[in-house]
Amino acid sequence: MLKLLNAEQTKLADQYTIENEPIPSLELMERASYTFVKTFSERFLDKKKTITIFCGKRNNGGDGLAIARLLHQDRYEFVDVVIVDFSDKSTPEFDANLIALQQTDVSIFYLKNPEELEGKQTDVIIDAIFGIGLSRELDQSYQQLIEKLNLLSGKKISVDIPSGMPSEGRLYGNVIFKADWVITFQRPKLNFLLPLSAPYIKEWKVVNIGLNEHFIENTASPYYWIWKKDISDHIKVRKSFDHKGTYGHNLIIAGDIDTMGAALLTAESSMKSGSGLTTACIPQSGITALNARLPEVMYLSRENLDNTDLDKYSSICIGPGLGKTEEAKAIIIHLISTYKKPIVFDADALNILAEDENLLSQIPLHSILTPHIKEFDRLFGEHHNCWDRIETAFRQAQKLQSYIVLKNRYTMIFTPTGLCYFNSSGSPAMAIGGMGDVLTGMISSFIAQDYPIENAIIIAVFLHGYIGEQLGQKMYVVPPTKLIKQIPYVIKDLKS
Ligand SMILES: NC(=O)C1=CN([C@@H]2O[C@H](COP(=O)(O)OP(=O)(O)OC[C@H]3O[C@@H](n4cnc5c(N)ncnc54)[C@H](O)[C@@H]3O)[C@@H](O)[C@H]2O)[C@@H](O)CC1
Ligand SMILES: [K+]
């Protein structure tokens, strides 16, 4: 698990590295710029393309000047630099890099006024105007410049972050450089992971510039980044004398006459994720489909639910395709009053909880709510931006002492202890009905198998996205049934 930092903490990490590696600030900038150029040159092989680098006068601009010199050294033939000269203040690192660049034959143009940009054409635009130091809305002249740059054709690449975007927190305005690609230093910036960045970033890549990892990992940040290694470390090895009882019993309460498929998807995903036994509590009309499609899964009739000892189930999930009927609500009330272990609530179960604050406040300790953005807002009120939603999610996860899995491109997992894990895996090919049902089955399956709740969620969320991402490389859209098929293979693969 990697810590994610805000701009302030990143600056402290820069500073710590400078003092303790030790490495002069200018050399750290050289390292960052070298790493940028190395990554850039792996993709932009044609050295005859025209490349214009727009540099602010602080350290992001300093990077830009160093990048110009290094590209030139790397035999890119047509590199020029535009210094955005709207203010007098420059940093010593900028000044030193300017002197170094003046020793080369890269041409340097001072832009005093956005109007002077008229008629500019170039194959590649590198944006090094503002980095993570941005602290307020762009002044008028910068806004005009960025609006003009956004209209230019040519590939647009940002150094560290698109100029005009803050590293975290609400956007100051909507004039932000629109980057095809961002090459960012050491960690993704928090705003990259939220839908607010979608109009401004097509793709981003993190490059390591050797900031002190020990310092970063000891920084008090609630944000973590889940990646592949975390998962393989956590998956349990199956041992010689294990039997089905070792892997728990998952009860799935889902489905209605016209949404039985949701129940089947959840049940199959539970079974394929490894729970020893899976029982589906579905309406009677679904028995034939269940028996025909999933002979491994057992059936519990809705009528018998009240008389069943729920404690025999090591995990319960409820919601996919359930409907918002009185019967569904009665089941939830029954569950909450009789089952004291965590329950996974999804889909219609969330919508039912959203309509009854009292019921929501009684869910068992460490339960899991898996809303998408709309369901989240139904539960906790309308939100108009991601950062307000994040604030609510932190607060509610602690108040309810539950986990909130806010589903998105980078799904966020909020914990009762005040942490937020961002999931790194996923693909737009997964945007299709039924995907959420699969995730619910996976989470409850891992809980049934006695993984600590937090690990169960993290493994399920990552694996779900990871398989979707792999299939998404070959498929325009990933049908949930295809994803489910891969689960046992991929778990095996990750463990070996
Ligand atoms: N040694 C270092 O400090 C390193 C810095 N690096 C680069 O430095 C960047 C951060 O540099 P800086 O902190 O100098 O900041 P920036 O280059 O991001 O510029 C921000 C500065 O501009 C001013 N400013 C802020 N908001 C403004 C606005 N709306 N309109 C006009 N002016 C505004 C402020 O003085 C602020 O400090 C990183 O993103 C990265 O690219 C990297 O080279 C790694 C090493
Ligand atoms: K930038």
**CATH number for position 252:** 3.40.1190.20
Is the domain of 130 the same as that of 247? no
- Taken in order 10, 16, 22, 24, the sign of the CA dihedral is positive
Is the domain of 188 the same as that of 276? no
Beta partners for residue 83, in sequence order: 55, 110
Total domains, the chain: 2
61 is in an annotated binding site: yes
The response to whether residue 438 sits with its C-beta less than 6 Å from ligand 1 reads no
The response to whether residue 214 sits with its C-beta less than 6 Å from ligand 1 reads no
Is the domain of 412 the same as that of 471? yes
Testing ligand 1's pocket by substitution, the residue of 8, 59, 136, 158 carrying the most ligand atoms inside 8 A of its CB is: 59
Q: Whose CA is nearest to atom 44 of ligand 1?
A: 29
Q: Are 85 and 110 in contact (CB under 8 A)?
A: yes
Residue 233: what pLDDT?
A: 87
The response to whether residue 145 sits with its C-beta less than 6 Å from ligand 1 reads no
Residue with tokens 């302030």: 8
Q: What SS3 class is residue 359?
A: helix
Is the domain of 202 the same as that of 232? no
Residue 347: what pLDDT?
A: 98
Residue 277 in domain: yes
pLDDT 10s digit of each residue in the chain, 496 long? 999 999 999 999 999 999 999 999 999 999 999 999 999 999 999 999 999 999 999 999 999 999 999 999 999 999 999 999 998 899 999 999 999 999 999 999 999 999 999 888 999 999 999 999 999 999 999 999 999 999 999 999 999 999 999 999 999 999 999 999 999 999 999 999 999 999 999 999 999 999 999 999 999 999 999 999 889 989 998 888 988 888 999 999 999 999 999 999 999 999 999 999 999 999 999 999 999 999 999 999 999 999 999 999 999 999 999 999 999 999 999 999 999 999 999 999 999 999 999 999 999 999 999 999 999 999 999 999 999 999 999 999 999 999 999 999 999 999 999 999 999 999 999 999 999 999 999 999 999 999 999 999 999 999 999 999 999 999 999 999 999 999 999 999 998 8
The response to whether residue 25 sits with its C-beta less than 6 Å from ligand 1 reads yes
State which residues form the domain around 77. 24-211
Residue 221 in domain: no
CATH number at residue 179: 3.40.50.10260
- State the closest ligand 1 atom to the C-alpha of 159, by its place in the atom list counted from 1: 41
Is the domain of 61 the same as that of 160? yes
For residue 38, how far is its CA from the centre of ligand 2 (angstroms)?
17
411 is in an annotated binding site: yes
Residue 219 in domain: no
Residue 102 in domain: yes
How far is residue 455's CA from residue 231's CA, in Å, rounded to a whole number? 9
CA atoms within 13 A on the CB side of 450: 10
Identify the DSSP state of 361: T
Indicate which ligand has the atom closest to the C-alpha of 142.
1
485 is in an annotated binding site: no
How far is residue 413's CA from residue 426's CA, in Å, rounded to a whole number? 14
Q: Whose CA is nearest to atom 5 of ligand 1?
A: 59
Domain boundary among 186, 211, 236: 211
For residue 131, how far is its CA from the centre of ligand 1 (angstroms)?
5
Is the domain of 361 the same as that of 476? yes
Is the domain of 125 the same as that of 262? no
For residue 294, how far is its CA from the centre of ligand 2 (angstroms)?
53
The response to whether residue 14 sits with its C-beta less than 6 Å from ligand 1 reads yes
Determine the Cα angle at 141 with ends 136 and 145, to 5°. 105
The response to whether residue 403 sits with its C-beta less than 6 Å from ligand 1 reads no
> What angle in degrees, to the nearest 10, is found between the helix axes of 373-380 and 386-399?
60
Is the domain of 191 the same as that of 273? no
Q: Judging by beta carbons within 10 Å of its beta carbon (0-12, 13-18, 19+), is residue 15 exposed, middle or buried?
A: middle
62 is in an annotated binding site: yes
Residue 48 in domain: yes
Domain boundary among 182, 211, 240: 211
- State the closest ligand 1 atom to the C-alpha of 164, by its place in the atom list counted from 1: 29
Query: Phi and psi of 199, rounded to 5°?
Result: -70, -15
Testing ligand 1's pocket by substitution, the residue of 15, 31, 84, 130 carrying the most ligand atoms inside 8 A of its CB is: 130
Residue with tokens 């509610």: 396
Residue 238 in domain: yes
For residue 217, how far is its CA from the centre of ligand 1 (angstroms)?
23
Residue 233 in domain: yes
- Dump strand ranges (E) for 297-409: 298-301, 315-318, 343-345, 368-369, 403-406
Is the domain of 29 the same as that of 103? yes
Residue 244: what pLDDT?
A: 86
For residue 21, how far is its CA from the centre of ligand 2 (angstroms)?
26
Query: Phi and psi of 371, rounded to 5°?
Result: -80, 150
Residue 3 in domain: no
How far is residue 131's CA from residue 94's CA, in Å, rounded to a whole number? 13
Domain boundary among 211, 240, 260: 211
- State the closest ligand 1 atom to the C-alpha of 63, by its place in the atom list counted from 1: 43
**CA nearest 50: which of 73, 78, 82, 72?**
78
For residue 214, how far is its CA from the centre of ligand 2 (angstroms)?
26
For residue 158, how far is its CA from the centre of ligand 2 (angstroms)?
5
Indicate which ligand has the atom closest to the C-alpha of 209.
1
Indicate which ligand has the atom closest to the C-alpha of 62.
1
Residue 492: what pLDDT?
A: 95
For residue 24, how far is its CA from the centre of ligand 2 (angstroms)?
22
Is the domain of 365 the same as that of 444? yes
Residue 266: what pLDDT?
A: 98
Is the domain of 37 the same as that of 147? yes
Task: Give first-to-last CA distance, the chain, whole Å.
Answer: 20
The response to whether residue 81 sits with its C-beta less than 6 Å from ligand 1 reads no
- Report the C-alpha dihedral over residues 65, 69, 75, 80, rounded to 10 degrees: 40
Is the domain of 234 the same as that of 206? no
